Amino acid sequence: MKQKALDYHSQERPGKIEVVPTKPTVTSDDLSLAYSPGVAEPCREIAKDPEAVFQYTAKGNLVGVISNGTAVLGLGNLGALAGKPVMEGKGVLFKRFADIDVFDIEIASEDPLKVIEVCQLIAPTFGGINLEDIRAPECFEIERILIDTLDIPVFHDDQHGTAIITGAAMLNAAELVGKKLSEVTVVFAGAGASAIACAKLYKDLGVKEEHLLMVDSKGVLHDGRADLNVYKQEFSRRTDARTLSDAMKGADAFVGLSSAGLVTPAMVKAMADKPIIFAMANPDPEITPDEVRSVRDDAIMATGRSDFPNQVNNVLGFPFIFRGALDVRARKINEAMKQAAVRALADLARLGTSEDIPDVVRNAYPGASFEFGPHNIIPKPFDPRVLLHVAPAVAQAAIDSGVARVKVDMDEYRRALEARAARIARL
């Protein structure tokens, strides 16, 4: 696998992305329009009306994938340069799944104020900014300040992507086990960016704050600990539980964003009836489906892996969330838009028996069942229908919540997305 991956990235043209002109550049007349003297005309129009930038440039379909490389995948602080293959990969996913163009920007600084300043200075280039692989807790402050100071969507996918996908899975899993979200108790293994974002979104979806219990490498976040930063303090609880094993006794749900093998079958056995288990450590989960099955036959399980049912993959979220946001020229991605994405994904998973599953999905999962149930609580990562469900939901939420610059006719918009989906299929 190592050599195969290195060959993939180095063969022919190095890297995974390139910039391609979208207008003719064959004749001298073409060049005079593309650059001097013709380019002066759109410049003048934009100077008169800044909103004209969306009409005359690529800004409206361009996202900046920005990182300082302090939390690269599961590899840690590799730095800006070593993080570049990941950022290029993110660009590939944006293009492949939502036809969004990307410039990846790697910032050689661990100072969050410098990261913020760079993003603020280059923001005019982009229709949106996707922050990536920036460590906690700095990522929280970077995102918050950029959301407050910029007039384009800023989205830290490491936080909200996982939260949105698991939020959809949690909605459907709770329905299948016959529990209301207001009644579900959730234990988190891990207290980093993803776990905190998941906990916040679950609260918005209906899980009670007192039903959320978080565990980091030192144990349960409880009110007797003096070592918690401000972000962890929000999830500190008055509890006698001190270990993950303590926390999982009687819990309805487990969300793992930590490390392989952290959960034992005995911990799962101690959970409530019909437990929901999201073990998302990669490449190996906190506990495997086989280990869970050895002690429980009533559990619903999801992991981050494609070889197990219910893969939680962020590609189900960020391309389509940005697609919807860009198409209404949203000024931000707010909570209403995130929840709209959650519910659109949850609804799509329920359509396994009422809509034809596309051949591309059937071919990717030969012999699999697509009927909504314990093994199908979220859509498959490569289901092309996700674009047609999530992007309109996000766009409508942006319009309804007042952050969209333009309004669109949803029927026309869906037809445009169908045409875009056809183009994507040819990529």
Torsion, Cα of 375, 379, 383, 389 (10° steps) = 160
Measured distance CA(404)–CA(117) in Å, rounded: 25
CA separation (Å) from 313 to 28, 44, 205, 381? 47, 44, 20, 6
Contact of 299 with 268, CB cutoff 8 Å: yes
Contact of 145 with 116, CB cutoff 8 Å: yes
Please identify which residue in the block is written with the tokens 């674009």. Answer: 387
90 carries an active-site annotation = yes
168: its two tokens: 């959809």
Helix, strand and coil content of the chain, in percent to the nearest 5, comes to 50, 10, 40
Residue among 59, 84, 90, 332 flagged as catalytic: 90
Measured distance CA(164)–CA(248) in Å, rounded: 23
Measured distance CA(250)–CA(267) in Å, rounded: 10
Element housing 175 (H / E): helix 157-177
- Helical ranges in 258-368 per DSSP H: 265-269, 289-293, 318-327, 335-349, 359-364
266: its two tokens: 């005995």
Measured distance CA(163)–CA(44) in Å, rounded: 43
416: its two tokens: 């445009």
CA separation (Å) from 164 to 49, 168, 171, 337? 36, 6, 11, 10
Cis peptide before 381 (omega within 30 of 0): no
Residue among 4, 8, 23, 35 flagged as catalytic: 35
332 carries an active-site annotation = no
Burial class (CB in 10 A: 0-12, 13-18, 19+), 170: buried
Among residues 334, 315, 388, 325, the alpha carbon closest in space to that of 358 is found at 388
For the sheet with 128-131, list strands across it.
Answer: 101-106, 62-67, 128-131, 154-156
Measured distance CA(156)–CA(140) in Å, rounded: 9
Q: What's at 101, amino acid-wise? A: D
DSSP letter for 406, please. Answer: S
Catalytic residue positions, numbered: 35, 90
